[in-house]
Chains A and B, each alone.
Chain A
Amino acid sequence: DVKVTQSSRYLVKRTGEKVFLECVQDMDHENMFWYRQDPGLGLRLIYFSYDVKMKEKGDIPEGYSVSREKKERFSLILESASTNQTSMYLCATGRREQYFGPGTRLTVT
């Protein structure tokens, strides 16, 4: 079974803090993705990576950056958290079929 783990299930941060969300996959997949999930908007792609040290912007990259130093690990960084970044963040890996982690519910106060 594919396993995608995310560093935290729940996170509360203050406005202006730097936030790191980490994702690890055990399937040796090249592709990894970060989405945010908001009610009524579905899942929106923030960034994706198709190889180590490679990254591409998704639909909503503003306010986020990513890091992929190792194949199995993909990190999402909020340089200066804002309240409008309160959301559920989902990491995924795979090619045509994507496998998702359980998500991190981030609250920025």
Chain B
Amino acid sequence: QQQVKQSPQSLIVQKGGISIINCAYENTAFDYFPWYQQFPGKGPALLIAIRPDVSEKKEGRFTISFNKSAKQFSLHIMDSQPGDSATYFCAASISNAGNMLTFGGGTRLMVKP
């Protein structure tokens, strides 16, 4: 049973559009929510992360929105570019439980030129 559910599994967006990937979690003890980006042939790399005491975090074109009451968080990629084409994973962890990450199933994003 996946503790972090991610949708959609795949996403196609036109260049310049907004890409939105959603995640939902069940364990209210999670206190750290990172997003990882993975290009073909590479391991995942941390893209952006949020803690539950804030509702939004923005870094450049990437924004995490966090809804604690709904136990949901999402990644928004503004002005999507072909170079953003990758697989994105949301994750969650608990600080006093070894910081082990629980990952969502991943979203394969393709940005068409």
Contacts and interface: CB of A to CB of B under 8 A. Distances in A.
Contact of A31 (B34, B99, B105): B99
Contact of B46 (A41, A43, A97): A97
B103 A43 contact: yes
In this complex, the interface size class of chain A, counting residues with CB under 8 Å from chain B, is: 20 to 34
A58 B105 contact: no
Nearest to A90: B43
Interface stretch (A11-19, A61-69, A73-81, A98-106): A98-106
Contacts of B104: 42
A96 B99 contact: yes
A37 B45 CA distance: 14
Contacts of A48: 98, 100
Interface of B: 2, 4, 6, 9, 32, 34, 41-46, 49, 89, 93, 95, 98-101, 103-106
Interface of A: 4, 31, 33, 35, 39-45, 48, 50, 56, 58, 90, 92, 95-103
A-B pairs with lowest CB-CB distance, top 3: A100-B43, A42-B103, A43-B103
